[in-house]
Structure 1
Amino acid sequence: MESLFKLVKFLTRYLTLWIILSAVVAFLMPAPFMHGDWIPYLIGCVMLSMGLSMTPGDFKLVLTRPRDVILGIIVISVCMPLVGLGIGTLLGLPPMLIVGLILVGCTPSGATSNVMTMISNGDKALSVTTSSLGTLISPFVTPALLMFYVGRYMPLDALAMFIGIIKIVIIPIALGLLIRKVFSKQMDTVLKLAPLLTVAAVVVVIAVVVSLNVERIKLVGVEIALACAFYTICGMIIGYVAARIFHMELSRRKAMTFLIGIQNTALAVSLGITYFDPLAAVPGGVLIVWASVLGTLVASFWAGKTQNTVTETLKN
């Protein structure tokens, strides 16, 4: 069993590499992966894994520090759809790619933001509470935002999307919580193995998205890569600046940086394929890679920096 645990850690540590490899394989040999109907089930696996790791304590910050949590959710909801719209428009991207960027902006923070916050020695409690609460209210928030930004230009069934998010997000998370309660004695083992489910699901999601868009990626690959890089960078800057404006200490600024800059791109992929067009899922797929790469770089840079070290640097 110990060998299996080591394998899971190895696969999780190099998730970005497996994502890139899966994208390359799907680009060169798309036929085996052209199954858009797989996506909801794969995202459900990711959410199930998230539910397994959640506890009631993840939400206690809502009561003790509601300002910080609410600020994170509001900044994402207000700023990031506009960032997606602005970048897509400035770069002259095709309409469905712009929709894809807006779609990412309408999703809550992703679980990856928690990992990056932990690596950077940021406020993990703030990160976990904000991303968890944002995920739970996403069936209401995400369709409402999409109706505002996209619904005026194309038909959009907000009720169907609400039900869809319930199915692929809330039900798997609830199932994960139930499993955690029923099999509490086995949870140490389960939690060590759960990341394998997430890694496998995300890798296959990328392969499906790429396989369905090979020809279109050939035409706009460079542009969408740039757009997603700018999107992530802008989100991180907005998160940090918002935290500074509200006089948060460094550990909370770190958390806010990743909360705003790294969103639930897997959910955006599922919604893009299900309710729009496979092309609308491409930004979410590309951002899974960019979030890992840029997030890791920033988190590693910040890892040894605390409030005291920053203060000393400013004094000197």
Structure 2
Amino acid sequence: MKNFVGWATSLFPLWVIIFSIWAFFEPDYWSSLSYLIIPLLSLAMFSMGLTLKIDNFIKIFKDFKIIFLGVSLQFLLMPFLGFTLVKIFSLEQLIAIGVILVGCAPGGTASNVICYLARGDVALSISLTICSTILAVFLMPTIFWIYTGSNIEIPFFQMIISIFKIVIIPVILGVFLNSINFIDLKKIKLCLPLIAVLSILFIITIIIASNSDQIFKHGPKIFLIVICHNLLGFFLGFFLSKKMKYSEKISRTIAIEIGMQNSGLATALAIKYFGTLSALAGAFFSIWHNISGPLIATYWKNKTK
């Protein structure tokens, strides 16, 4: 079993490419499964919880500087990168608004799964996601207004409910089961990387299928900007963390948390306040960071061996 799981997870980038092509050319079947995205994320988060104990979170919050660094980079670096890319590429106003809105968003929940696959600090990743999501209620509209002069309202209660359903409750259940020694989890834990890989793989496939028409119509320029935004977030998050003398494990975690945005929130807000054209950056970011994340996770996992 261990050898099979190792083989299957090591080929994650290949599965992503194959399923992405399948979703792009045969979108109808996969797009009909969009209702599975949240349950799949919750399953992945539950599997993350099975690898953790309460002490992991206590240790993180004792060194609050790490949380402060991650959240600061999230809300300072990514909006600035988005604004800079908008200026470099001279984007039309509505598309530019979408790019900046993605930059102002908190970390995405999928980052926690990618962090696990990359051999990062999962407890830190989850803590950063929760903190940035709560702070986004106040910081996201403020930073967005600074860069664009436009006002948006953040759906506070919907965000809190979502983070509870997708992240907090599944993680708590996993941590609880891992702490009470009620059942032997050794065999289950062997399968956890495969569960995480399959969850993210199906999420990527569904997202690509659901946006295949938009990719075809508006792809190249916006995709290039999204790729630059995401990769710069990864690189600078890792580089700055290393410069501040944090470990490889923590630097990976912060890089992933910075590079992977809650683009679903950005897309929803863009549609509500500015129209579908401004939502393209968020939709494309959802696709791309769910491809780049597994790729960088596989690279780091193999580097750790």
Q: TM-score, normalised by structure 1?
A: 0.75
Alignment of 1:158-307 (within 5 A): 158-182=156-180, 184-243=182-241, 246=244, 248=245, 252=246, 254-263=248-257, 268=262, 270-271=264-265, 279=280, 280-294=282-296, 296-297=298-299
Q: CA deviation at 1:34?
A: 1.6
- For 1:311, the equivalent position in structure 2 comes to none
- For 1:98, the equivalent position in structure 2 comes to 99
* 1:65–1:163 Cα change, 3 Å: closer
The one-character-per-residue Cα deviations of 1:4-50 (angstroms, maximum 9, x if unpaired) are x3332222222222122221111000001124332222221221121
* 1:106–1:221 Cα change, 3 Å: same
Mean Cα deviation higher: 161-170 or 237-246: 237-246
The alignment partner of 2:50 has SS state of helix
- For 1:28, the equivalent position in structure 2 comes to 25
- For 2:74, the equivalent position in structure 1 comes to 76
Alignment of 1:134-173 (within 5 A): 134-150=128-144, 152-173=150-171
Q: CA deviation at 1:67?
A: 2.7
* 1:50 is the counterpart of 2:77: no
* 1:199–1:66 Cα change, 3 Å: same
Amino acid at match of 1:11: A
- For 2:13, the equivalent position in structure 1 comes to 16
* 1:255–1:196 Cα change, 3 Å: closer
Amino acid at match of 1:30: P
Amino acid at match of 2:294: S
Q: CA deviation at 1:113?
A: 3.5
The one-character-per-residue Cα deviations of 1:262-299 (angstroms, maximum 9, x if unpaired) are 13888725545666657423303211222333455577
Aligned partners of 2:14 and 2:101: how far apart in 1?
Answer: 24
Asked whether the 8 Å contact 2:79–2:104 carries over to 1, the reply is: yes
5+ residue gaps, structure 1, are 119-123, 305-316
Q: CA deviation at 1:65?
A: 3.8
> What's the Cα RMSD here?
3.4
- How many percent of aligned residue pairs carry the same amino acid? 19
* 1:243–1:84 Cα change, 3 Å: same
Amino acid at match of 1:201: S
Amino acid at match of 1:6: N
Asked whether the 8 Å contact 1:106–1:145 carries over to 2, the reply is: no
5+ residue gaps, structure 2, are 272-278
Alignment of 1:118-129 (within 5 A): 118=119, 127-129=121-123
Q: CA deviation at 1:176?
A: 1.6
* 1:264–1:110 Cα change, 3 Å: farther
Asked whether the 8 Å contact 1:12–1:196 carries over to 2, the reply is: yes
Q: 1:41 aligns with which of 39, 42, 47?
A: 39
